């Protein structure tokens, strides 16, 4: 079952991309005392993820910060090296922190995984966006498969 509004995010160790390289971080370190927007994508370099989802959050990072968001995280079930390359390719800089969930540990823990084996991709993240305050989910929007509406940056800006 997917995480719900009011639930605390699970304790997971993640690899994140920073402008100066990669580092390990726990969910407690990332979320404690902060308002965070997290959006999950099925894969780095995939069409909608690369052309719309991630670029929208990069372009609107300042608008999110103006609404009190401390950090924006993009989670994908990819390894850290792919996520670093994607961050460079898309110009994420410090606007959006890319999170490598290579073994889908976080994605499974929040119940937002799906089997994309029919596409040759294995376990992947559903497309979603959530807002968490001090590690507690305050808003969750999960996309219907093959759609891109409720997890867009515009949709999240509208609920903040």
Catalytic sites, residue numbers: 49
Cα angle: 71, vertex 104, 53; to 5 degrees: 45
Cα end-to-end distance, the chain, whole Å:
25
Scan for tokens 């069409």, then name that residue: 47
3-class state of residue 86 by DSSP: helix
Query: What's the rounded Cα separation, in Å, for the pair 66 and 75?
Result: 22
Half-sphere exposure in the Cβ direction for 17 (13 Å, CA): 30
What are the Cα distances from residue 45, in Å, to 23, 58, 157? Answer: 21, 15, 24
């Amino acid at each position: 079952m997917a995480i719900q509004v009011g639930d605390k995010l699970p304790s997971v160790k993640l690899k994140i991309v920073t402008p100066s390289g990669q580092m390990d971080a726990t969910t407690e370190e990332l979320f404690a005392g902060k308002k965070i927007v997290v959006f999950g994508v099925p894969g780095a370099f995939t069409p909608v993820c690369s052309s719309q989802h991630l670029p929208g959050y990069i372009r609107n990072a300042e608008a999110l910060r103006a609404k009190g968001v401390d950090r924006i995280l993009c989670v994908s079930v990819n390894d850290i090296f792919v996520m670093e390359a994607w961050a460079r390719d898309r110009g994420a800089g410090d606007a959006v922190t890319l999170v490598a969930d290579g073994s889908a540990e976080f994605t499974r823990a929040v119940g937002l995984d799906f089997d994309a084996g029919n596409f040759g991709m294995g376990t992947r993240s559903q497309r979603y966006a959530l807002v968490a305050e001090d590690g507690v989910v305050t808003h969750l929007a999960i996309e219907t498969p093959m759609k891109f509406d409720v997890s867009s940056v515009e949709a999240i800006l509208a609920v903040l």
